[in-house]
Amino acid sequence: MKVVLQRVSEASVTVDSKIVADIQKGLLVLVGIEDADTQEDINWLVGKIVKIRIFGDENDVMNCSVQDVNGDIIVVSQFTLHASTKKGNRPSYIKASKPEFAIPMYENFVKSLEKDFNKKIHTGIFGADMKVSLLNDGPVTILIDSKNRE
């Protein structure tokens, strides 16, 4: 499972010209799922997302988590995080899970995140043509891969 965390001042997701998710200060989390992912990957990533200290403290040093700053989270499914660009110029998405596997994993990821975060998680709509708008704060963008825990 791969995630891209973006610290945002604001973010929203629009589907069919309707805003389906909208936050101010917090995290926009793009998540890509592959068939090898398990509940253990979800648990590890959720712990990282909730506790990662990428928000400024009173001295503007990144010492605070999204919980510490009372921020919000939007999660958006993003199968293209598993793009392979080794051959040619057209990415291959062979590692990205099919919806039969990915949808339950995505829903479990969101539920697990809500439980640990103790707050509603805003989401896009899995598989929809989404327009994601954000104001990246910093900019701060973090890539985390549950299969590469360095």
Q: Which residues contact 4 (CB under 8 A, 6 or more apart)?
A: 29, 30, 78, 81, 141, 142, 143, 144
**What type of residue sits at position 149?**
R
Could you confirm whether 38 is annotated as catalytic? Answer: no
CA–CA distance, 96 with 11 (Å, rounded to integer): 25
Q: For residue 125, what are the CA distances in angstroms to 36, 38, 48, 50, 68?
A: 23, 22, 23, 22, 27
- Of the residues 80, 85, 123, 141, only one is catalytic, namely 80
Active site residues: 80
